[in-house]
Amino acid sequence: MLQEQELKTFVEGTTNYFEVAAQQAASIGSPYLVTKGTPGVHDYTGVINISGKREGVVYFTAPRAMLTVLLMKMQETDFSHETMKDLVGEVANTI
């Protein structure tokens, strides 16, 4: 079972990412994995495996529109499928 302090690492990693990369604070909601019987998956999903003291995955999923805004904040001009995949991987990895 994850402890509160360990969860905080991911919460802080996520909020810090958006504060710095998007110059916009992220709001924190209640965690969930499944809604209405199906996993919460948007247009693009990045998954990073974690091993060591704990094992599991960091899972970042976002709609294309949100990723487009994030790329614009980063002054990126390429909004291709490849760039979207690159971005969700980078976000998951950084978090």
CB atoms under 10 Å from CB of 87, counted, come to: 22
DSSP 53: S
Displacement of CA 82 from its chain's centroid (Å): 17
**What is the footprint of another protein within residues 13-52 (CB under 8 A)?**
16-17, 20-21
26: helix, strand or coil: coil
| 89 touches another protein by CB under 8 A | yes
Nearer residue to another protein within complex by CB, 45 or 83: 83
* Residues engaged in binding another protein (CB under 8 A): 16-17, 20-21, 71, 74-76, 78, 82-83, 86-87, 89-90, 93-94
